Amino acid sequence: METKQIPSIVVGRLPVYLRALEYMKREHRQVTSSQELAERLGISAAQIRKDLSQFGEFGKQGTGYDIENLVTQLRAILHINRVWDIAVVGAGDVGHAVARYQGFTDRGFRVAQIFDNDPSKIGSQIGEFIVRDSADMLEIIHQAGIKIAMIAVTASHAQDVADQLVKAGVKAILNYAPITLNVPPEVHVQYIDPSVHLQRMAYYLG
Amino acid sequence: METKQIPSIVVGRLPVYLRALEYMKREHRQVTSSQELAERLGISAAQIRKDLSQFGEFGKQGTGYDIENLVTQLRAILHINRVWDIAVVGAGDVGHAVARYQGFTDRGFRVAQIFDNDPSKIGSQIGEFIVRDSADMLEIIHQAGIKIAMIAVTASHAQDVADQLVKAGVKAILNYAPITLNVPPEVHVQYIDPSVHLQRMAYYLG
DNA sequence: TAGATTGTTAATCGATTAACAATC
DNA sequence: TAGATTGTTAATCGATTAACAATC
């Protein structure tokens, strides 16, 4: 018995679908169609239907998709019908911003810990958190069973931090440092580097 | 006479190649190979060679690529052999973080303006900038000829801001608001939504 | 019922990889 | 020269789209 392997490019679109559906839900909308979603998101209706059909039959011919139901289904598929604790490493500007960011609430995540190795920052308060010493990071993360971390340290420290996080049992890393990380295949990494995004667009500015 | 159309997925990888090459340059390395880059970046050597060959012949058989030269070439291809001014809209935590971010220097960009519509923020200082009134945004951006903007306002205001930016002549938008924007086809948009990245990884956490 | 929209199949399109001649 | 590595071609692989029967 084998589980069908879902292409990661499909998985990557689900959160975008979900975001749009939750937006509609807030507008008190009841149903939508692949066509409406397609227009909002700038992709084809066929692609949306095909993507969703990988996981089940969520629509009704002639009517479309029940928004509330599809939101519930997608949250379950993405395993965010629970709250994941996140450890943030680096208490600089980026660490500050993510620690105080309200946007994780209701989207499946919660910052639980923030670490730094700078003695002048350790013990200080950021939002509701006290910055803890990176030296204790491995033990704390392991103890707490935290599986997701964000790296917000300089490029020169990011690989070291990643190595430690992997040792601590972290399985997913959101990396803000401008460097490609080397991690074992079972650990997932996503990158946020604003300069990379900007450079990509600059190409088209001619 | 027609210019060969480069796939946008290829363009998207160039900044990552460039980032790795600049890192090597800082390590005082002189040459590298597609194989070494491939190992560092976790992609295939053939893909790197094929991507680069779309823009010219930058390597030498038996030797590889001159790092300094390839950096120069890629910067020219991406049009970042100059400095682009950026307007930041929204002086909240994210706006703060990007306005103070040192990572744009030497990568082709410079924050030039920061706007907000909150009277309690207008006139205040963020890093080296004075927050200006969003009401004056269109005129200031147009006057200054700014082509790149970052949206760091709430989801509910982001589309309005985007419409204004487009009117002001902006051609590239880096959007931190958790919403898909509707813009004319000649305007490029890139999205940074940490929750989307996290949700994508949560799928694999089972 | 008539109209609308799904889920799915087959066709098309595009991207990646393997392999190797060319050549430094 | 011998070894290494490029640039490129052809083959493979995967993703997107068009179209439509099924059906609400």
pLDDT digits (tens, 9 = 90+) for B74-114: 999 999 999 999 999 999 999 999 999 989 999 999 999 99
Domain that holds residue A113: 84-196
Decide which of A77, A103, A136 is a domain's last residue.
A77
Do B192 and A192 count as a contact with CB atoms less than 8 A apart?
yes
Cα dihedral A105, A126, A156, A119, rounded to 10, equals -150
Output the pLDDT for position A91. 97
Nearest residue of B to residue A5, measured between CA atoms = B204
Banded model confidence at residue B3, pLDDT cuts 50, 70, 90: low
B25 vs B101: CA distance, rounded Å: 22
Average pLDDT over residues A179-183: 98
On whether both A40 and A108 belong to a single domain, the answer is no
Asked if A169 reaches chain B (Cβ–Cβ under 8 Å), the answer is no
pLDDT at B71 over 60: yes
Residue A99 lies in a domain: yes
pLDDT at B140 over 80: yes
Quick check: A50 CB within 7 A of strand C?
yes
Which of B181, B183, B184, B204 has its CA nearest to residue B193?
A: B181
Average pLDDT over residues A103-114: 96
Output the pLDDT for position A45. 98
Percent of chain B with pLDDT over 90: 95
On whether both A127 and A53 belong to a single domain, the answer is no
Span of A1-10, A44-53, A197-206, B111-120 with lowest mean pLDDT: A1-10
Q: CATH number of the domain that B26 lies in?
A: 1.10.10.10
Nearest residue to nucleotide D23, by CA–C1' distance, is A61
> Contact at 8 Å (CB) between A206 and B79?
yes
Q: CATH number of the domain that B146 lies in?
A: 3.40.50.720
Asked if A76 reaches chain B (Cβ–Cβ under 8 Å), the answer is no
B171 vs B146: CA distance, rounded Å: 9
Asked if B55 reaches chain A (Cβ–Cβ under 8 Å), the answer is no
A137 burial type by CB count under 10 A (0-12 exposed, 13-18 middle, 19+ buried): buried
Asked if B109 reaches chain A (Cβ–Cβ under 8 Å), the answer is yes
pLDDT digits (tens, 9 = 90+) for B4-20: 789 999 999 999 999 99
Residue A171 lies in a domain: yes
Average pLDDT over residues B141-162: 98
Amino acid (one-letter) located at A103: G
Nearest residue to nucleotide C19, by CA–C1' distance, is B46
Q: Where are the alpha helices (DSSP H) in B54-152?
A: 67-77, 93-100, 137-144
Output the pLDDT for position A206. 86
Output the pLDDT for position A3. 56
B6 vs B50: CA distance, rounded Å: 12
For B97, phi then psi, to 5°, come to -60, -45
Measured at the alpha carbon of residue B82, what is the angle toward residues B11 and B184, in degrees to the nearest 5?
50
pTM of the model: 0.96
On whether both A127 and A32 belong to a single domain, the answer is no
Q: How far is CA A180 from CA A76, A87, B5, B82, B117, in A?
A: 30, 20, 28, 25, 37
> Contact at 8 Å (CB) between B103 and A195?
yes
Residues of B in contact with A202 (CB under 8 A): 78-80, 84, 108, 148, 172
> Contact at 8 Å (CB) between B109 and B84?
yes
On whether both B66 and B140 belong to a single domain, the answer is no
Residue B206 lies in a domain: no
| pLDDT mean across residues, chain B | 96
Banded model confidence at residue B1, pLDDT cuts 50, 70, 90: very low
B105 vs B102: CA distance, rounded Å: 6
Residue B167 lies in a domain: yes
Range B157-162, long-range pairs (CB < 8 A, 24+ positions): B161/B89, B161/B90, B161/B134, B162/B189
Decide which of B42, B77, B112 is a domain's last residue.
B77
- Number of folded domains in chain A? 2
Residues of A in contact with B174 (CB under 8 A): 194, 197-198, 201
Output the pLDDT for position A2. 44
Decide which of A23, A48, A77 is a domain's last residue.
A77
